[in-house]
Amino acid sequence: MKKKSITRRDFLKAAAVAPLAGAIVSSALAAGSAASAAWPAGSQTASSVASKSRVILIRDLDVLGADRKCVPSVVSRMLDEAVASLFGEKDAAAAWKRIIKPKDTVGIKTNIWKYLATGPEIEQHLKRRVLDCGVPEDKVGIADRGLLNNPLFTGATALINVRPARTHHWAGMGGCLKNMIMFVPQPFTHHGDSCADLATIWELPEVKGKVRLNVLVMLTPLFHGIGPNHYSDQYVWDYKGLLLGLDPVAVDSTGVRILQAKRREFFGEERPLQPPAHHVFYADTRHHLGTSDPAKIDLVKLGWPEGLLI
Amino acid sequence: MVDQKQAMVSLLPLEAGGWKAAPAEDQFFDPETIFDYIDGAGEVYRAYNFGLLLSRRYQREGQADLVADLFDMRSSLDAFGVFTHDLEGEEAGVGQGSNYKGGLLSFWRGRYFISLYAEKESEEAKQALLALGRAAALAIGGDGERPSLLALLPEDFRDLKGTHYFHTFPILNYHFFVSPDNILNLGPETEAVLAAQPGAAGASSKERLAMIRYPDEKDAGMAFISFCRASMPETALAQDKGQEEQLGREQESRLFKTKDGLWTAAGVKRNMVVVVFQAPTSQEAIHILQRAIKGLDKP
């Protein structure tokens, strides 16, 4: 066969202008702030706020004590204020009664990853508030693993979803959406395309329609991972915040923005999450579970403003 | 399997820098159980055909633990490949290639990839990790071969700090997202390298060069068509019939502009597909592609 070298004419004949569709979507997400910038900032009128997903970001300078230990009284106050604000109530008790009823069986789905666990201070506060709603103690459980063998969780009528935010080696970010993966018998079956379709877990009968509150703990988020264990103290910082919302996509989307902003600040250049947390984006655009678009999120910022990043 | 476990146990020392191992607590994980240990990160090692993982903790009073993870990757090519998955850090002079950063020392030698991690970084812990690493590298013994694909990269793309070797599209997407679908038909039987060249606009927009070797010319041709079809549906569809008739043709190439204003050039020659991503101009894309394809003729 005659050898043919590439000529410029070959290229001009074949040149076309066409997008790499997947790359465009994901390059927008992977571009970090570019993704945020790509969405219109928009102006927030009263009517536009009403149609948005509300997310509360609360921070407190005093929430961490020595050795980054969570101060129970401070985090309790933060959670109460955030929940009250989320529901527009004067106090947390009234707010909680809007989502938990005495006849509920409540599973508090936490996260016990050894390097960055939710922690008993937050877990116990959430449990107290559930009990305050009149739920009997034997109808409230706190767990991360073994959920499918736990009758309280398989039979729960309400779930409280709580976990720390961190980068994740395969999903880009571990957040509220991913926290429900323990309702799947074999979690690795959702690893395809960097966990793109984690939102499908929220269609499972054990989960669907039951999550009453999402809490993404941003006290000491992990913003970069190294090695198989994906953890280093070097990449954790004292953000001292909590994100709360009814829309897990909106909560996670806000968490992604904070992590990406921190990475930009720390590395001194744009360093998108690797891999990109596109499951958050697809939870919106592909699965319609909630909104990932900052322009459609009513983000209420409370408390300590320094180092907010977004 | 028992023999391999014993062989791996013998590769890790029992003590380093005052930290001592508790071998009775050694844990082994295989491709099915690795998720119990490191969750989603297990997919990385599975993508490189890993066979067995030995995890050992080292303890020292008053200090945080050291964790040694010894991966039997079954071949030096895959040990090298998984090493290139995370190239952050400074060369530490251990094994055939190593990195140290943030309390993590990783290196490869022969068919093994080793990750040594200090749960709390300190100078003492770092020195212990280095001692552990050197001892393990010595125990492993002989060096293994690197992928021959590396030699096909153009000179200016041969920065090992920015070059990844892999087989599957999730790993490609991890380093440079191309598509949620496997449009390049990557799989266990393919070998690929992705190399970067710093671009004028800075590290975040540098050109990428992917060179992929398929089992045969037909596989390469089909992959090239698949990539073009996904990238340029209008022109690729019209050309499908002609292209399929021309499978086996020595060389074919395409150029297109992506929505972000950068250029992609793709070519196929024999059993190789070459793709240039993110070139700032069409001329640059053509130039890189030409050089890469010309290099395939080298003996």
Which chain B residue is nearest to residue A275, measuring alpha carbons? B174
Q: Identify the domain boundary among B140, B171, B206.
A: B140
Helix (H) or strand (E) holding A215: strand A211-222
Do both B154 and B130 map to the same domain?
no
CATH code, domain carrying B187? 3.40.1000
| Number of domains comprising chain B | 2
Q: Where are the domains of chain A?
A: 51-303
Q: Which tens digits make up the pLDDT trace of A124-176? A: 999 999 999 999 999 999 999 999 999 999 999 999 999 999 999 999 999 99
Joined tokens for residue A121: 């201070």
pTM over 0.90: no
Its sign, for the CA torsion B73, B75, B79, B81, is negative
Chain A residue numbers with beta carbons less than 8 Å from the beta carbon of B172 are none
Chain A residue numbers with beta carbons less than 8 Å from the beta carbon of B39 are 168-170, 187
What φ, ψ does residue B66 adopt, rounded to 5°? Answer: -105, 145
- Asked if B231 and A195 come within 8 Å (Cβ–Cβ), the reply is no
Q: How far is B286 from B266, CA to CA, in rounded Å? A: 9
Do both B255 and B169 map to the same domain?
yes
Do both B130 and B152 map to the same domain?
no
Do both B90 and B206 map to the same domain?
no
Do both B16 and B87 map to the same domain?
yes
Do both B157 and B284 map to the same domain?
yes
Do both B129 and B188 map to the same domain?
no
Joined tokens for residue A20: 């790499």
- Asked if A3 and B120 come within 8 Å (Cβ–Cβ), the reply is no
Do both B156 and B228 map to the same domain?
yes
Chain B residue numbers with beta carbons less than 8 Å from the beta carbon of A23 are 177-179, 258
Q: Tell me the pLDDT of chain B (299 aa) as tens digits.
A: 669 999 999 999 999 999 999 878 899 999 999 998 988 889 999 999 999 999 999 999 999 999 999 999 999 999 999 999 999 899 999 999 999 998 999 999 999 999 999 999 999 999 999 999 999 999 999 999 999 999 999 998 988 788 999 999 999 999 998 998 999 999 999 999 999 976 544 445 588 999 999 999 999 999 999 999 998 765 544 344 444 444 334 468 899 888 889 999 999 999 999 999 999 999 999 999 999 999 998 66
Asked if the C-beta of B104 comes within 8 angstroms of chain A's C-beta atoms, the answer is yes
Q: Which of A20, A26, A163 to mutate to test the interface with B (most CBs of B within 10 A)?
A: A20
- Asked if B260 and A30 come within 8 Å (Cβ–Cβ), the reply is no
State which residues form the domain around B114.
2-140
Interfacial B residues in 206-265 facing A (CB < 8 Å): 230-235, 248-251, 253-260, 264-265
Q: How many residues does chain A have?
A: 310
> Which parts of B168-270 are beta strand (E)?
191-199, 202-213, 251-257, 263-269
Identify whether the C-beta of residue A289 lies closer than 8 Å to the C-beta of residue A249: yes
Which chain B residue is nearest to residue A24, measuring alpha carbons? B259
| Residue in B179, B202, B293 closest to A6 by CB | B293
| Residue in A192, A196, A228 closest to B41 by CB | A228
Q: Which of B177, B278, B291 to mutate to test the interface with A (most CBs of A within 10 A)?
A: B177
Do both B123 and B192 map to the same domain?
no
C-alpha distance from B151 to closest chain A C-alpha (Å): 22
The ipTM estimated for the assembled molecules is 0.82
Do both B152 and B13 map to the same domain?
no
Q: Identify the domain boundary among B113, B140, B167.
A: B140
Q: Identify the domain boundary among B105, B140, B175.
A: B140
